Amino acid sequence: MNNFTFYSPTCFVFGRETENQAGSLVRRFGGTRVLIHYGGGSALRSGLIDRVRASLEGEGISSVLLGGVQPNPRSGLVYSGIDLCRSEGIDFILAVGGGSVIDSAKAIAAGTVYDGDFWDFYCGKRIEKALPVGTVLTISAAGSEGSPDSVITKEEGMFKRGASGDAVRPRFSVLNPALTETLPPHQTAAGITDIMAHLYERYLTNTAEVEVTDRLIEALLLTMIHEGPRVIADPHNYDARANIMWAGMMAHNNSCGVGRSQDWNSHNIEHELSALYDCAHGAGLAVTMPAVFSYVMEHDVMRFAQAAVRVWGCSMDFRHPEVTARAGIEAFRNFLVSIGMPKNFEELGAKEEDIPALVHALCWGNGRQGSISGFVTLNEEDCGKIYRMMV
């Protein structure tokens, strides 16, 4: 195991009606004037924003609203949010929504107290300082409620890139599984896929002897396999929603990824798809992961065989472990299709003729030097082959 530091000082308040504690939580973590950041109108229409605002007002805390965050959140709104925070004297940002809203809130939080362009953080500069952020989560997917990470798409060039820093770890996150019951099935399934991707990205490691994190990742994957179909069959299954919500946080706060190298090539390859086609990130990952895994499987057949046996219940073919490894990837693909995820470019809305542009953006965009690295280093030719496997 590699040396590491793990610091997750987020206070998670989990369960029914916990959004009514938003006011006392903001007060506890020092906020006095709040930007409530949200996405489309559903948080308004459902009355969630009203309940959160009432909770703040109950503590004598004033707030300003900034809605309009899109899936695959854009830099334009981040710049507006930074201006608003500065002009309104905001000292706390409360994200009410899913990963896109939280990521946008984190970008605004970092940008407000930074003299330069906030995009610097998305070109590799570590976030060292930010306004405090809290969240009221409405989608189990990105894990941003417990992570130091944020992903934003820059409109000029449509680059989708990530930034990180403990300063943007949420001070608190309110996790009420009931808030996710009204999501359309496609969004629920895309969230499930995203959570499983966060687990596989950590599973694909080149660090030896990491049994504890292997087992934790497998545990969370097994949870998703059990609960995913149950929540697709019955969107109002609170317990299934609850198990998925905690798994989604645990999948990405890195308690199961410490001390090991991680992959993240599937995320990088997918980011070009959602940047170009504005598809759901999880849907893009559903198409991307089986292709990537099949392409890199030979790098460590036994790791894929282990996942096949321990997670997917495949029988081990001791003479031909690659058969078992492949069966595990196939079982994963079938699972994703069973919950309603797309399986190829066509179903995703992507186009074969765009592959050269996708490869170029992936391997050369935003400072990259012709390849992406992770479990395996992939050059332009590799990436082109992988995109073509998805057609």
By CB under 8 A, name the binding residues for a copy of itself: 1-16, 18, 177, 208-213, 215-216, 218-220, 222-223, 226-227, 239-240, 242-244, 246-247, 250, 255, 258-259
> Could you tell me if 280 and 274 are in contact, meaning their C-beta atoms sit under 8 angstroms apart?
yes
**48-53-56 Cα angle (round to 5):** 130
Tell me which amino acid residue 214 is.
D
Residue 208 CB, nearest approach to a copy of itself (Å)? 7
Residue 116 CB, nearest approach to a copy of itself (Å)? 26
Q: Which is nearer to a copy of itself, 12 or 264 (CB)?
A: 12
- Start-to-end CA span in the chain (Å): 38
Tokens (6 digits) for 321: 């472990």
159 SS3 class: strand
Which helix (H) or strand (E) covers residue 183, if one does?
none
Residue 15 CB, nearest approach to a copy of itself (Å)? 3
- For residue 122, the number of C-alpha atoms closer than 13 Å in the C-beta half-sphere is 25
CB count in 10 Å sphere of residue 370: 9
Q: Which is nearer to a copy of itself, 28 or 360 (CB)?
A: 28
Residue 198 CB, nearest approach to a copy of itself (Å)? 14
CB count in 10 Å sphere of residue 47: 10
Q: Which is nearer to a copy of itself, 229 or 365 (CB)?
A: 229
Q: Which is nearer to a copy of itself, 20 or 371 (CB)?
A: 20
Residue 102 CB, nearest approach to a copy of itself (Å)? 18
* Packing angle, helices 380-389 and 281-296, rounded to 10: 110
DSSP symbols for 327-350: HHHHHHHHHHHHTT---SHHHHT-
Residue 118 CB, nearest approach to a copy of itself (Å)? 26
Q: Which is nearer to a copy of itself, 257 or 328 (CB)?
A: 257
Q: Which is nearer to a copy of itself, 5 or 87 (CB)?
A: 5
Residue 375 CB, nearest approach to a copy of itself (Å)? 20
Residue 16 CB, nearest approach to a copy of itself (Å)? 6
Q: Which is nearer to a copy of itself, 222 or 301 (CB)?
A: 222
Q: Which is nearer to a copy of itself, 161 or 171 (CB)?
A: 171
CA distance 145 to 99: 7
DSSP symbols for 299-329: GGHHHHHHHHHHTT-PPP-SS-HHHHHHHHH
Residue 236 CB, nearest approach to a copy of itself (Å)? 14
Burial (Cβ within 10 Å: 0-12, 13-18, ≥19) of residue 88: middle
Residues 6+ apart with CB under 8 A from 228: 189, 192, 244, 335, 339
Q: Which is nearer to a copy of itself, 25 or 69 (CB)?
A: 25
CA distance 131 to 110: 6
